[in-house]
Amino acid sequence: MQENAHVVILLGPPGAGKGTQSVRLSAALGIPAISTGEMLRSESQSGSPLGRSVQSLVANGKLVGDRIMNELVSRRLRQADCARGCILDGYPRTVAQGRFLDALLKNLGAASPHIFDFIVSVQDVVSRLGGRRYCPVCGQTYSNEILTCGRDGSALIQRADDNPSVISERLRVYRRNIGEIVGFYRARNYHPIQAAKEPDVVLRDLLRLLDADVIHRPGGADDRFLSSAFA
């Protein structure tokens, strides 16, 4: 990672739109979107020893252990495409992961992260996840009523953890951890985001707050990160 690389953290319940916005932010800012859930699902799909060891935890909505998650993220953030920073979708999820990430970013020379906490109602979560489908080939996510992938024509499928009982377990796990993790970040570049708005509006809010964070940080504006530079 380059000195002062920017790392954006997206917190929020299942179905809040973290994945949707991380892809959009990635396109707007030119840094990679890293989804720890996606990393775990592709390990499971590949049948690797790691994938086999986490498959049942992920399918049942339980958290994978901090040691495994920290190792995965540490390896990923050292890759060349993260030189200018990255967007973290779904990590950290515990204070232990947050502490590990702080030490890692310090070690890599990155700036202090920007944290966005997606706020959305339980009703929205349940209805969004009930309707979510994804392409098993390219990973693109879709909402209700779309049956085939617009990119490659593959038949869309439902995630193994998008069924009502696992959704309620994921929400329970989220509620158990979110207070502590927000407490950990609240005094920093932390911003609650109203995520029940249209996706384009949520993206605009994120970019506006990101601009403000960057302009007000010691050293001032950084043109690489002003969203106007990407308009």
Residue 224 annotated among the catalytic residues of the structure: no
Q: Which of 5, 20, 43, 100 binds ligand AP5 (CB under 6 A)?
A: 20
Task: Determine if 12 is a binding residue for ligand AP5 (CB under 6 A).
Answer: yes
Q: Which of these ranges, 8-16, 148-156, 182-190, 204-212, lies near ligand AP5 under the rule CB under 6 A?
A: 8-16
Kindly name the residue from 24, 41, 128, 132 that is annotated as catalytic: 132
Specify burial of residue 111 (Cβ count, 10 A radius: 0-12, 13-18, 19+).
buried
Contacts to ligand AP5 from residues 46-65, by CB under 6 A: 57-58, 61-64
Task: Determine if 113 is a binding residue for ligand AP5 (CB under 6 A).
Answer: no
Contacts to ligand AP5 from residues 114-173, by CB under 6 A: 128, 132, 141, 143, 161, 170
Kindly name the residue from 18, 24, 41, 133 that is annotated as catalytic: 18
**Long-range contacts made by residues 213-217, C-beta under 8 angstroms, separation at least 24?**
213/114, 213/189, 214/6, 217/111, 217/112, 217/189
Kindly name the residue from 24, 41, 128, 170 that is annotated as catalytic: 170
d(CA 42, CA 45): 5
Q: Which of these ranges, 15-23, 148-156, 206-214, 219-227, lies near ligand AP5 under the rule CB under 6 A?
A: 15-23
List, in order, residues 6 or more apart from 32 with CB less than 8 Å away: 26, 81, 82, 86, 87
C-beta of 104 vs 226, nearer to ligand AP5:
104
Residue 93 annotated among the catalytic residues of the structure: yes
**Which amino acid, 68?**
I
d(CA 134, CA 136): 6
Q: Give catalytic residue positions.
A: 18, 93, 132, 159, 170
